[in-house]
Amino acid sequence: MEKDYGFVVVHIPHASVEIPDKYRKTMLPNEKRLQREIRRMTDAFCDQLYDAPEFPTRVIAPVSRFVCDVERFRDDHLEPCAKHGQGLMYTQATLFLKLRERNPALRDEILREIYDPHHEKLTTVVEKALERYNKCLIIDGHSFNSSMILKPDNKLSFPLAFPDFDIGTDSYHTPAGLRDIICSYVKELGYKPKVNTPFGGAITPMKFYQNDKRVFSIMFETNRKLYMNETDMTKAEGFEKTRQTCHMLMRCASDYVLNI
């Protein structure tokens, strides 16, 4: 009997490289520098890595995170990255490279045209899952650089102990059992997992955040060395194998929540 995974929502926030002209005009770096930043910070191909057909409900950010980072809190006062110029509207790229001037009017436009519609869609599909199944699992699909991690404060981490898969969790929305079964499965598949390393957390719409246990959330971060050439942002020989592995992790997480 075919399993019903209709309660699962796949969220892909950072895979796009799309920068509409009207937003490109607000950015200060020349094209060469901007493309370098895009290669460094885009979760390239995650929309394909996490495209298992059993999970048709997908919310994918339509533009690059350099236009709008939909995974940041709407309120900059709540967003730790905002103090480093990387709230929902970046003013800084990496290594102290200035991306754009502060512009409240532009931020309001981005909220209205991109950020709020994205989160309204995410909230709506979670609501629909809860109405039908009385549960919802959000799978948040990301990737990370294999050679170094450059966080918003510009502190570098190097890959002495980077995993193949980083399992991001939330203390409220990620059950310990879900975390543990995913880590065990990653090992069973021959890969090295870590929890909340090098990045942590898992997205939940603010309507349900820390107040509705029916909403489960987990983040999968894939090491880019497994599937792509990080220098020119092209697929590597291991892409299809990694894609199938990501699909298996999606099914494993969904089966756990299905049986709760």
Q: Please give the residue range of the domain that contains residue 185.
A: 8-258
Number of domains in the chain: 1
Range name among 60-64, 152-156, 178-182, 232-236 with the lowest pLDDT average: 152-156
Say if 161 falls within a structural domain.
yes
For residue 109, the tally of other CB atoms under 10 A from its CB is: 17
Q: How long is the chain?
A: 260
Supply the DSSP string of 16-31, one letter for each residue.
Answer: -----HHHHTT--S-H
- DSSP, res 154: -
Tokens read off for 56: 């048709």
Say if 201 falls within a structural domain.
yes
Cβ atoms 86, 69 nearer than 8 A? yes
Say if 211 falls within a structural domain.
yes
pLDDT band at 160 (very low <50, low <70, confident <90, very high): low
Supply the DSSP string of 42-95, one letter for each residue.
Answer: --TTHHHHT--TT---EEE-SS-TTT--TTS-SSTTT-GGGGGTBSSSBSB-ST
pLDDT value of residue 153: 64
pLDDT band at 9 (very low <50, low <70, confident <90, very high): very high
Q: What is the SS3 assignment for 168?
A: strand
Say if 3 falls within a structural domain.
no
Burial (CB count <10 Å: 0-12, 13-18, 19+), residue 211? exposed
Say if 2 falls within a structural domain.
no
pLDDT higher than 70, residue 249: yes
CA distance 257 to 216: 8
Say if 1 falls within a structural domain.
no
Mean of per-residue pLDDT scores for the chain: 95
Range name among 20-24, 77-81, 205-209 with the lowest pLDDT average: 77-81
Say if 104 falls within a structural domain.
yes
Say if 93 falls within a structural domain.
yes
CA distance 7 to 30: 44
The CATH number that applies at residue 145 is 3.40.630.40
